[in-house]
Amino acid sequence: MSIVETQEHQDLRAAVAALGRRHGRGFDRDTLWSEAGKLGYLGVNLPEEYGGGGGGLAELSIVLEELGAAGCPLLLMVVSPAICGTVIARFGTEEQKREWLPGLADGSRTMAFGITEPDAGSNSHRITTTARKADDSDGGGWILNGRKVFVSGVDITDATLIVGRTEDARTGSLKPCLFIVPRDAQGFHRSQIDMELQAVEKQFELVLDDVRLPADALVGDEDAGLLQLFAGLNPERVMTAAFALGMGRHALDKAVDYAKTRQVWKQPIGAHQAIAHPLAQAYIEIELARLMMRKAAHLYDAGDDAGAGEAANMAKYAAGEACVRAVDQAVHTLGGNGLTREYGLASLITASRVARIAPVSREMILNYVSHQSLGLPKSY
Ligand SMILES: Cc1cc2nc3c(=O)[nH]c(=O)nc-3n(C[C@H](O)[C@H](O)[C@H](O)COP(=O)(O)OP(=O)(O)OC[C@H]3O[C@@H](n4cnc5c(N)ncnc54)[C@H](O)[C@@H]3O)c2cc1C
């Protein structure tokens, strides 16, 4: 991996940034999604033989970051092409790849991802959504029961990739299984959670009540376990970092523009170091986090799942923190205007906190680094 971005990546950045500028903050999600899909941006990471761009997370993260920097982030990119597309491309059957990947790549089909449960939260080993094999005399296939929470975009996606466990592995360390559950499957109930977030993608609580699925709803191997799950979770972390970096850059750009022109003494407020230095600090932190995100994407794309795990966690942590601080400072830089609808920064205070909580919280990443990287003992 070169520290300097390749010309190809710079060109991709410039092209996506131009698309983002055309749509801007008041963007219509569906229009942008379909345009980005047609241009090949949504499936840039997916294999060429199934309609993708043949690239990897390095490219997909550039797309999301640039759209976010232009004020029009597509949250579902974290889930549909990055988690679901990757897991299907790596572990799906030939039929599943043919059925899903072309649509995920051009954006005409989308998939949500559900792992979080009300009683498990950060402790995924405690998830209880259970898949039972139905007898052949009973039609065969799988029967799923369980509950999920905070799952994004279930209303606008064609299906949700649900993480469960088989009945044989109902207790103990998680041996996850992944199932494609169509949006309108019988027994698959959703209710929207009333969030304070201003975003087109809503969050849902899900109830799976004897949801019957065909045998081929299972993606990959029921014994593949965590390897298969992390093939999706590491991309999710890298893409959440891209989401956070885009938002942080968007906020910082607005604050810098404002600080150059707003004048209440002899000089624009940007001349006061109390305003300039925190903005410079935010810029540095965003740049540093981007370097770690690129490292994580590079390791993942190179097939180094173990190396990518640590880097993806660190990138998500660094980008989340950089985003929260950049947004906070941006709002402050605008004074009263920082809290007006017109400038559109105040709503980012809530949005930026998502990057600190999801998909894995700041504390759980610090736990990971404490245990995995530093070898410190666990408290839990
Ligand atoms: C906007 C949004 C979108 C989301 N989209 C999805 C989605 O599409 N699909 C999906 O499956 N999930 C989704 N989530 C859920 C998200 O991944 C969880 O909120 C997250 O994993 C944290 O789980 P929790 O909310 O249950 O918090 P908890 O696990 O209850 O944690 C609460 C607090 O306790 C801390 N904590 C917990 N355990 C420890 C520990 N051992 N040591 C130190 N601190 C600890 C946490 O860091 C956190 O600060 C979304 C969440 C949000 C906010």
The pLDDT of residue 170 is 66
SS percent in the chain: helix, strand, coil, step 5: 55, 15, 30
**Cα separation of 218 and 222, whole Å?**
8
- Domain 111-219 sits in CATH at 2.40.110.10
The pLDDT of residue 169 is 66
116 lines ligand 1 (CB under 6 A): yes
The pLDDT of residue 127 is 94
Q: What residue type is 114 in one-letter code? A: G
The pLDDT tens digits of the residues spanning 264-305 come to: 999 999 999 999 999 999 999 999 999 999 999 999 999 999
Please state the rounded mean pLDDT for residues 314-322: 98
**Cα separation of 290 and 295, whole Å?**
9
**Cα separation of 222 and 220, whole Å?**
7
Largest CA distance in the chain: 84
**Ligand 1 atom closest to residue 197's alpha carbon, by position in its atom list:** 1
State the residue for tokens 């950045």: 13
The pLDDT tens digits of the residues spanning 139-172 come to: 889 999 999 999 999 999 999 999 999 887 666 6
Closest Cα to atom 26, ligand 1: which residue?
A: 121
Whole-number average pLDDT of the chain: 96
Higher pLDDT, 331 or 223: 331
State the residue for tokens 């699925």: 213
151 lines ligand 1 (CB under 6 A): yes
The pLDDT of residue 278 is 98
Domain with CATH 1.20.140.10 in the chain: 226-373
Please state the rounded mean pLDDT for residues 229-250: 96
Provide the 10 A C-beta neighbour count for residue 280: 13
Please state the rounded mean pLDDT for residues 319-348: 98
Residue 120: CA atoms inside 13 Å, Cβ hemisphere, count? 22
User: Residue 64 contacts by C-beta under 8 Å, 6 or more apart in sequence?
Assistant: 73, 74, 77, 78, 239, 242, 243, 246
What CATH architecture applies to the domain 7-106? Answer: Orthogonal Bundle (1.10)
Please state the rounded mean pLDDT for residues 204-228: 91
243 lines ligand 1 (CB under 6 A): no
**Beta strand pairing call for 130-133 and 159-166:** parallel
Closest Cα to atom 9, ligand 1: which residue?
A: 151
**Cα separation of 350 and 203, whole Å?**
14
**Nearest residue to 41 via CA among 29, 32, 28, 50:** 32
The pLDDT of residue 172 is 67
Ligand 1, residues 115, 126, 150: which to mutate, most atoms within 8 A of Cβ?
150
Claim: this prediction has a pTM higher than 0.75: yes
Q: Are 90 and 231 in contact (CB under 8 A)?
A: yes
**75 class by beta-carbon count within 10 Å (0-12 exposed, 13-18 middle, 19+ buried):** buried
Radius of gyration for the chain, computed over Cα atoms and rounded to the nearest angstrom:
21
Domain with CATH 1.10.540.10 in the chain: 7-106
The pLDDT tens digits of the residues spanning 23-64 come to: 999 999 999 999 999 999 999 999 999 999 999 999 999 999
Q: Which two tokens stand for residue 189?
A: 């109930």
Q: Are 205 and 147 in contact (CB under 8 A)?
A: yes
Q: Which two tokens stand for residue 216?
A: 């081929």
121 lines ligand 1 (CB under 6 A): yes
* Pick from 88-97, 101-110, 221-230: least confident: 221-230
Domain with CATH 2.40.110.10 in the chain: 111-219
The pLDDT of residue 175 is 81
- Domain 226-373 sits in CATH at 1.20.140.10
Q: N- to C-terminal Cα distance for the chain?
A: 37
Q: Which two tokens stand for residue 221?
A: 């191997």
**Cα separation of 136 and 103, whole Å?**
31
| φ and ψ of 80, to 5 deg | -65, -60
**281 class by beta-carbon count within 10 Å (0-12 exposed, 13-18 middle, 19+ buried):** middle
DSSP designation for 375: -
State the residue for tokens 């897991």: 87
240 lines ligand 1 (CB under 6 A): no
129 lines ligand 1 (CB under 6 A): no
The fraction of the chain above a pLDDT of 70, given in percent, is: 99
Q: Are 313 and 365 in contact (CB under 8 A)?
A: yes
Q: What residue type is 352 in one-letter code? A: S
Output the CA 360–ligand 1 centroid distance in Å: 6
The pLDDT tens digits of the residues spanning 105-135 come to: 999 999 999 999 999 999 998 999 999 999 8
Q: Hey, which residues does 182 pair with through a beta bridge?
A: 159
**Ligand 1 atom closest to residue 380's alpha carbon, by position in its atom list:** 41
357 lines ligand 1 (CB under 6 A): yes
Q: Over 80: is that where the pLDDT of 174 sits?
A: no
**Cα separation of 99 and 120, whole Å?**
32
Residue 315 CA: distances (Å) to CA of 109, 123, 200, 236: 29, 21, 25, 11
What is the band of 186 on the pLDDT scale with cuts at 50, 70, 90?
very high
**Nearest residue to 128 via CA among 185, 177, 91, 161:** 177
